[in-house]
Amino acid sequence: MGSHKDLIVYQKAFDVAMRIFEMTKQFPKEEKYSLIDQIRRSSRAICVNLAEAYRKRIYKAHFIAKLTDADMESTETQTWLDFALNCNYLSRQDYEYCMQQMSEIGRLLHYMQTYPEKYQPK
């Protein structure tokens, strides 16, 4: 494996973070310093934690810890998506797409946490 960018989970997380960025451009301006900033930060933090995990993969405990942080950020993003839907800032279709992607990201992170040796350098 050459880079964290080669990981499917990273690619999915990056794509959904960019989708969230685009969607939040339409949110009300009064949400700028609350929901918009929070959901953008948490969705991007999934990618950042994956990048850090990849660089720390030689140390199993550090690798798993950073993956756990990525999973935590994914769960936070899902909570912000719930708020956005209930405030009528998101369409049901956009919400369902993002939640499906977050669910898949969670499954991939769980797999990586369960089998960290598959990601350690040879």
Look up the domain containing 49 and give its range: 4-117
Residue 85 lies in a domain: yes
User: Does some domain include residue 122?
Assistant: no
pTM of the model: 0.94
Spatial separation of the C-alpha atoms in residues 36 and 15, rounded to whole Å: 17
Number of domains in the chain: 1
pLDDT at 119: 93
Is 17 inside any structural domain?
yes
What pLDDT is attached to residue 1? Answer: 58
Residue 109: CATH number of its domain: 1.20.1440.60
Residue 33 lies in a domain: yes
Compute the distance between CA of residue 119 and CA of residue 94 in angstroms, rounded to an integer: 32
pLDDT, position 2: 84
pLDDT digit string (tens) for the chain, length 122 residues: 589 999 999 999 999 999 999 999 999 999 998 999 999 999 999 999 999 999 999 999 999 999 999 999 999 999 999 999 999 999 999 999 999 999 999 999 999 999 999 999 87
Q: Residue 70 falls within a domain, yes or no?
A: yes
Q: Which two tokens stand for residue 76?
A: 């936070």
